[in-house]
Amino acid sequence: MSKHIQAYFQTENEAEHVRTLLQTYDTEAVEVGKLDDGYAGDRRIIIPIADTGAGTQANGTGVIGAGGIAPAAVMGDEDDLDLDGHHDLHYALSAKVLEEEYEEIRNMIRHNRGHVERLD
């Protein structure tokens, strides 16, 4: 069974890089497109995972590294977040991915500067 994933990027190069990385997965309908007015801020998106230093290791909720855990944050939650830059997202990538690969792909996108839309 497939699941839809959508992500937003600041540059076309970032989006195209992730499109290339997706070729190692079983995907369908992979598309990259330019957003004329940029991301409007009207959807809930999970921001990219920040690199906290040397020796970082990904897990399902953030990155564990020398500085401790950097939790994943979701725009639109009630937490106070640094939302600077989310209006600078000018490219969208969408794809259908296998449900069993969804979490791995979502984390890969976030590790590559992608803001993944929360669809659930």
CATH number at 2-117:
3.30.70
Residue 45 near residue 115 (C-beta atoms within 8 A): yes
pLDDT tens, N- to C-terminus, the chain (120 residues): 899 999 999 999 999 999 999 999 999 999 999 998 877 776 677 878 765 544 444 444 443 333 333 444 444 432 323 444 556 899 999 999 999 999 999 999 999 999 998 876
Give the start-to-end residue ranges of the domains of the chain.
2-117
Please state whether the predicted TM-score (pTM) of the whole model is above 0.75: no
Partners of 61 in beta bridges: none
The pLDDT value given to residue 120: 66
The pLDDT value given to residue 63: 35
Residue 101 near residue 24 (C-beta atoms within 8 A): no
The pLDDT value given to residue 73: 46
The token pair at 45 is 């998106």
The pLDDT value given to residue 39: 74
